Structure 1
């Protein structure tokens, strides 16, 4: 992501009016999956017992594609005021299910449980803004990517964090099981981490000034800062560029092949740019370049 493009995202986050209400607390309309209390999160050893994944025939016969999504991370996965799942990831889930001839069945998932819900066969696929890492790829199989992302840092306008050195000796809020957790533990051990299971709780902690800043994907903190006055994204591009992709249980080749074929096919329809226009453009506005975020057809 070029610096000029990042600047457009920042201007969009500030200039565009509040077009979406970021939900600090939601009641999901489907099952919920949280990381067990003794789990290390999806960056550590999976806490669940591995069970065989459902075959494509079994999925079709059941009439349901079981999908793990976020319920508190607008505009990517959230529950609206009518109790329905919405967001960029959800639009993709709906299309994957439709083309398979089934309905999507959603499970609300915490960040640290995204691996466990696959290994325990609670869901068929995880579509929860799941960043691809080597550590995670040893536990799940990732399909072709559909987004690209960096880490970002949001903080109060009254005490902005504008570079990572500003965080030394201060408290940084993160959600467990996100890429921000190992990134700061490895590269910036002097930064005190305050960890939460759910994004909603993490953002509430920032609003209550229990920490000095919060870090997660730059796409998400930019959206959140736009919807919450008094906060700014002082760091918009931290770490290496990464990709976000669907994930299935390790070894579930049939479902993985189906998803990869779908992503390639959808790319020919410009599906992901249309998804962006529907779910993300109202947040970032016209000043943002969708090509800085969207990966079309699995090719970045």
Structure 2
């Protein structure tokens, strides 16, 4: 069995449906990896991770692969080995329908909601330390805070936000693209050449 770290609360990438089954893009790729490795797509054990503990789960051998909407960054590359990317992404900002936030400048004097350990968290912490933020461990908590008006805006990967605002018509994209265009890639333990090459060949 291959142990793959995935999200349980980030549709359309990785989520758990009402029947308790793992679903999403990342899950489909995980099943493909299991099928190629063992000839059976069910020979995969899904391990639920949070954004902030993805690196730790690989390093402490709780999982073999991370497939949790994982953006490749230089800092993370020092700790894990990334495979070839399977998706491109930038950051975005979601706001209520009646909001007039359209740029980062508009976030001054506002409260920005962030999911801890995400690219958005790192981006705003490094580049805009003056913006007031509220950070949550879980993705679901961060979005609940936006719906409860505990914050004025929420920043996350824009592909995730586009899918979310489509399902939540009371909200819209205030900023559609922000920061560097990054790539999403599977990650394996540092030095696990065999598994990395195997996944790379699958993605090509």
CA distance in 1, matches of 2:96, 2:189: 39
Measured after TM superposition, the shift of residue 160 of structure 1 is 3.6
What TM-score, normalized to structure 1? 0.66
Q: Which contiguous aligned blocks of 4+ residues in structure 1 show a shift greater than 2 angstroms?
A: none
1:209 paired residue among 149, 152, 157 = 149
CA distance in 1, matches of 2:129, 2:45: 40
1:136 paired residue among 61, 71, 76 = 76
Aligned to 2:110: 170
Q: Say if 2:197 is the partner of 1:260.
A: no
Q: Say if 2:125 is the partner of 1:125.
A: no
| Count of aligned positions | 201
Aligned to 1:77: 14
CA distance in 2, matches of 1:160, 1:134: 34
Aligned pairs (5 A) from 1:238-249: 238-249=178-189
Aligned to 1:293: none
Aligned pairs (5 A) from 1:183-222: 183-222=123-162
Q: Say if 2:88 is the partner of 1:148.
A: yes
2:28 paired residue among 58, 75, 91 = 91
Aligned to 1:268: none
CA distance in 2, matches of 1:262, 1:160: 44
Aligned to 1:46: none
Measured after TM superposition, the shift of residue 168 of structure 1 is 1.0
CA distance in 1, matches of 2:111, 2:163: 22
What TM-score, normalized to structure 2? 0.96
CA distance in 2, matches of 1:168, 1:190: 8
SS at match of 1:158: coil
* CA RMSD of superposed structures (Å): 0.8
Deviation track 1:245-280 (CA, whole Å, cap 9, x = no partner) reads 00011111111111111112xxxxxxxxxxxxxxxx
CA distance in 2, matches of 1:234, 1:194: 18
